[in-house]
């Protein structure tokens, strides 16, 4: 409960102040009413300001105050539970509208998962993330995995998977970044973050030169960890279990928290977790 100069703003008072403001009451009339019920004027003013400030901060942003939405990848679901993507059947296990999240089953075969891990293994190094200020990369304590990037189309297996993803998400293959492989050991995690590049950072314009904003993420699970390692969306209480061959896709129309795409990789509690991530840009990624 909030307290202003030793007077408590009860939930009832908070509701009443907000109701008065929404009904168009003049602030001085609200203060007068509070004074009548025993509030000192300066304390009442502070309480009203604090209540309305907090109320405004908690409100969803008005669409008109946000940058215009970007076009995002979206699979042609057509009401079915199985999609054909470049000749490969993919199951639709779960969908959510806001945030836009789709969980796919059987996107990769066991052989493809094993093949990706084998190709990546010798090139794994402590994961780096994009440095928001310079546009370069840096080791980040929020991400305690090992990782590597494939070049787009670098290997026959990579080409097959990239063509499948492009067909599944109806998004040009050339707009995809190179596939990233991450290996989490027990205790490793990826703390909640957004995958888009926040315009507030000075390095963002530089990053956007290579194909514009990220507009979607596909995280593919290459193994099933013995414990932990879910991909979490803490703002909406969603946890996607990492299951070999399955994948979670989410898109974001703007580089903005209103997309509710805050997500993380929960700590692995037993065994290892391997994922392959494909990030999708607005334009051709160069």
Query: In whole angstroms, how close is the CB of 67 to ligand PD2 at the nearest point?
Result: 22
Q: Would you put residue 161 in left (φ > 0), alpha (ψ -120 to 50) or beta?
A: alpha
With respect to Zn ion, which residue has the nearer C-beta, 264 or 271?
264
Query: In whole angstroms, how close is the CB of 32 to ligand PD2 at the nearest point?
Result: 52
183 in Cβ contact with 273 (< 8 Å):
yes
Please state, in angstroms and rounded to a whole number, the distance separating the CA atoms of residues 279 and 179: 8
Query: In whole angstroms, how close is the CB of 264 to ligand PD2 at the nearest point?
Result: 5
Q: Rule CB under 5 A: say whether 146 interacts with Zn ion.
A: no
> Which spans of this chain sit near ligand PD2 (rule: CB under 6 A)?
182, 190, 195, 217, 219, 231, 263-265, 275, 277
String of b and e for 191-205 (b: at least 16 CB within 10 Å)? Answer: eeebbbbeeebebbe
What distances in angstroms separate CA 254 from CA 159, 192, 211, 233, 278, one per listed residue? 29, 18, 15, 17, 18
Q: Rule CB under 5 A: say whether 195 interacts with Zn ion.
A: yes
With respect to ligand PD2, which residue has the nearer C-beta, 231 or 251?
231
Residue 277 binds which of ligand PD2, Zn ion, none (CB < 5-8 A, kind-dependent): ligand PD2
Q: Where are the alpha helices (DSSP H) in the chain?
A: 11-22, 27-36, 41-58, 110-120, 156-169, 204-208
Helix (H) or strand (E) holding 129: strand 128-130
Segment contacting Zn ion (CB under 5 A): 8-16, 83-91, 103-111, 195-203? Answer: 195-203
Residue 103 binds which of ligand PD2, Zn ion, none (CB < 5-8 A, kind-dependent): none
Residue 72 binds which of Zn ion, ligand PD2, none (CB < 5-8 A, kind-dependent): none
Residues that bind Zn ion (CB under 5 A): 195
């Amino acid at each position: 409960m909030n307290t202003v100069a030793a007077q408590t703003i009860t939930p009832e008072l908070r509701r009443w102040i907000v109701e008065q403001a929404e009904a168009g009451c003049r602030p001085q009339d609200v203060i007068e009413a509070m004074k009548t019920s025993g509030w000192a004027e300066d304390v009442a003013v502070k309480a009203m300001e604090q209540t309305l400030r907090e109320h405004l901060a908690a409100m969803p942003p008005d669409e008109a105050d946000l940058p215009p939405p970007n076009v995002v990848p979206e699979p042609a679901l057509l009401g079915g539970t199985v999609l054909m993507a470049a000749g490969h059947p993919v199951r639709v296990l779960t969908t959510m509208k806001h945030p836009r999240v789709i969980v796919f089953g059987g996107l990769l075969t066991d052989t493809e998962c094993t093949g990706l891990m084998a190709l990546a293994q010798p090139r794994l190094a402590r994961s780096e993330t994009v440095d928001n200020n310079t546009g370069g990369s840096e080791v980040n304590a929020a991400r305690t995995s090992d990782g590597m990037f494939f070049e787009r189309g670098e290997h026959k297996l990579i080409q097959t998977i990239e063509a499948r993803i492009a067909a599944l998400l109806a998004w040009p293959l050339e707009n995809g970044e190179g596939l990233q492989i991450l290996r989490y050991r027990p205790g490793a995690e990826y703390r909640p973050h957004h995958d888009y590049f926040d315009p507030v950072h000075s390095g963002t314009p530089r990053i956007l030169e290579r194909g514009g904003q990220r507009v979607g993420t596909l995280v593919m699970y290459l193994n099933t960890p013995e414990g932990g390692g879910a991909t979490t969306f803490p703002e909406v209480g969603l946890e996607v279990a990492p299951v070999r061959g399955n994948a979670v896709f989410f898109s974001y129309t703007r580089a903005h928290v209103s997309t509710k795409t805050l997500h993380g990789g929960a700590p692995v509690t037993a065994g290892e977790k391997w994922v392959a991530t494909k990030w999708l840009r607005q334009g051709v990624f160069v």
